[in-house]
Amino acid sequence: MSYYTGNITNTPSTIAVLPAPIYWWEAGALWGSMIDYFHYTGDDSYNNVTIQALTSQVGPQFDYMMPNHVKDEGNDDQAFWGFATMSAAEKGFPEPSTYNTSIPYTWLQLTENLWNTQVRRWDTSACGGGLRWQIFAFNNGYTYKNSVSNGAFFQLSARLARFTGNQTYLHWAEKTYDWSTNIGLVTSGYKVLDGADMGKNCSDFNGITWSYSHGIYLYGSAVLYNYTNGSSTWYTRTNSFLNAAGAFFSPYSNSTDIMFENACEEIETCDNDQLSFKGYLSRFMWATTQMAAFTKPAITSVLSSSALAAVKTCTSGDDGAACGQRWYTGGFDGHPGIGQQMSALEVVQGLLAAASVPPLHNSEVQIVVNQPTSRSIIRETENPTNSLVGTGSSSARPEQTSKDESNTASGRYGTPWWMESVLATTLTAALINCFLS
């Protein structure tokens, strides 16, 4: 069963995107998953289709503002394409010109172009700042300021700061985070609320919490913890978001440490967008272990349990690898789909994160053009980014550790047999085959 067929006919309107009713943003999320897949596994089979997809949506100004998607492109939608291009830059993915010589920008430059469109949308007309949910006034939600749009801008700013060393990005990351907490979008208990309407000056919040918004703020905080060499401020924030993420695990006494979408999954009301949200919490939790190694024990524990539970649902379809939504049921629940497949992929392929090089800095990346793979170049880079290892349960600031210790830290905590890299790679490939031909 294949969910993406847009490249078969090479019709411009179908390249990169997923069939209706899946929105444009989720395709951006898919290609971000594929960059991680290549980085974790070294399998470059899908690199060309990924580069084709990402370069086909850059828009006339090379900033992922697509004229044919004005009705379904908000700040959060655009940001998910930015997550993909940022990952491509951080992981030394072959540059756009590898596939399309008409693209005059690198992945970093495309991300910066996108970021520049968003920083200009910082809106002080109400709520003291922040990004609106929507870009265009004719779209529903234009007067709503939500956590995923602002969290995504925070995270992209943090990642750009770490990658480039440019303090302007750090300033905007800190400013966006402070705004989020000052107005109550992020609560004192580190819950990430959905958003608030500008008509009431963001005083009345929609209190729903979504897993992906939480993961976005968690990873942004972890990136700044790493970038600031383990500052106590960002340690506290990272650790607190991680603790608060427990709201998305263990729905029942017999499903300990299994992830679920707590706002809709148990009552089976998740829409097409929400069916994919667990995938992004998984992605950003695994990524957090590479930025803040003190989180490895807790994250590895819950995501390992979730990965095993997710795989148990992947028994449907022609190839017997289509996945269900409710991982805590112990088997396939009768509801396959692209969001379900992406969620299972993200939680499973993250098992390979501990054996993978952490996201690089700009100075460590060799520009890769017209080469089938860049993974070997990444692994040969000298002085890879250090991770920081701590106890996770302590409120004290962890001490910095060496490259070798951080890269092997997960081994000290032990791994079950099914987490071995060969098996994880096999499972990941099987999940990929469900939506890419």
Nearest to 57 by CA among 89, 21, 40, 32: 32
pTM: 0.88
Q: What are the respective helix, strand and coil percentages of the chain, to the nearest 5?
A: 50, 5, 40
Q: Encode pLDDT of 187-245 as tens digits.
A: 999 999 999 999 999 999 999 999 999 999 999 999 999 999 999 999 999 999 999 99
pLDDT at 81 over 50: yes
pLDDT at 318 over 80: yes
Site of tokens 């989720």? 26
Please state the domain extents for the chain. Answer: 1-120
Structure confidence at residue 423 as a pLDDT band (50, 70, 90) = low
Residues 346 and 10: their CA atoms lie apart, in Å, by 27
Residues 313 and 77: their CA atoms lie apart, in Å, by 28
CA distances from residue 416 to 84, 411, 420 in whole angstroms, order as listed = 30, 10, 8
Residues 83 and 62: their CA atoms lie apart, in Å, by 15
Kind plus residue range of the DSSP H or E element containing 193: strand 193-197
Tokens of 262: 């707590």
Q: Encode pLDDT of 347-370 as tens digits.
A: 999 999 999 999 999 888 865 544
Q: What is the mean pLDDT of the chain?
A: 88
- As beta bridge partners, residue 74 has 134
Structure confidence at residue 273 as a pLDDT band (50, 70, 90) = very high
Q: Encode pLDDT of 244-271 as tens digits.
A: 999 999 999 999 999 999 999 999 999 9
Structure confidence at residue 126 as a pLDDT band (50, 70, 90) = very high
Give residue 362's pLDDT: 87
Give residue 116's pLDDT: 99
Give residue 10's pLDDT: 79
Residues 6+ apart with CB under 8 A from 270: 261, 264, 277, 325
Kind plus residue range of the DSSP H or E element containing 152: helix 147-164
Q: Encode pLDDT of 153-195 as tens digits.
A: 999 999 999 999 999 999 999 999 999 999 999 999 999 999 9
Give percent above pLDDT 70 in the chain.
83
What average pLDDT does the segment 2-10 reach? 83
pLDDT at 373 over 80: no
Give residue 410's pLDDT: 36
Write down the H helix ranges in 21-74: 24-41, 47-56
Catalogue the E-assigned strands of 161-289. 193-197, 205-209
